[in-house]
């Protein structure tokens, strides 16, 4: 089944909601607002590719956080498969955080 652009946009919104429910345990802000998610691509077949990073390469949740993201996004309605690519290029830095995240962390 192929999805329309509107359906893909809806799936994307649902994926973002799920990403906003995943938190870096060391920072009380979700991974989406932290800027750890670099890209979310959705095919018209429902295949999802997520490119994300961690705050540091030796982050204590390097093993579990990407799997949590993959598992939660897999549960989104109409998502057929999830390919998660972990990258450290470019390296994450505080400038990648949303205004909301900076506010929550008292950086504004």
* CATH number reported for the structural domain that contains residue 36 in this entry: 3.30.300.130
Q: How many CB atoms lie within 10 A of CB 29?
A: 20
Q: Look up the domain containing 32 and give its range.
A: 5-95
Q: 27 lies in a domain?
A: yes
Q: How many CB atoms lie within 10 A of CB 27?
A: 16
Measured between its terminal Cα atoms, the distance across the chain in Å is: 46
H-assigned helices in the chain: 5-19, 31-34, 65-74, 99-104
Q: 59 lies in a domain?
A: yes
Which pLDDT belongs to residue 24? 82
Domain count, the chain: 1
Residues of the chain falling short of pLDDT 70:
none
Q: How far apart are CA 99 and CA 84, in angstroms?
A: 26
Q: 104 lies in a domain?
A: no
Q: 107 lies in a domain?
A: no
Q: How far apart are CA 17 and CA 11, in angstroms?
A: 10
pLDDT (tens digit per residue) in 26-48: 788 999 999 999 999 999 999 99
Which pLDDT belongs to residue 63? 85
Which pLDDT belongs to residue 15? 98
Q: 89 lies in a domain?
A: yes
Cut 0.85: pTM above it: yes
Which pLDDT belongs to residue 108? 80
Q: 102 lies in a domain?
A: no
Which pLDDT belongs to residue 69? 97
Which pLDDT belongs to residue 101? 93
């Amino acid at each position: 089944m192929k999805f329309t652009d509107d359906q893909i946009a809806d799936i994307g919104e649902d994926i973002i909601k799920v990403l906003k429910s995943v938190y870096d345990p060391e920072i009380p802000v979700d991974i989406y607002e932290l800027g750890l998610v670099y890209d979310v691509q959705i095919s018209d077949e429902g295949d999802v590719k997520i490119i994300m990073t961690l705050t540091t390469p030796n982050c204590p949740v390097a093993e579990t956080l990407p799997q949590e993201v993959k598992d939660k996004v897999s549960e989104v309605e109409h998502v057929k498969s999830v390919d998660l690519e972990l990258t450290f290029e470019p390296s994450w830095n505080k400038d990648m955080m949303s205004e909301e995240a900076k506010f929550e962390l008292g950086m504004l």
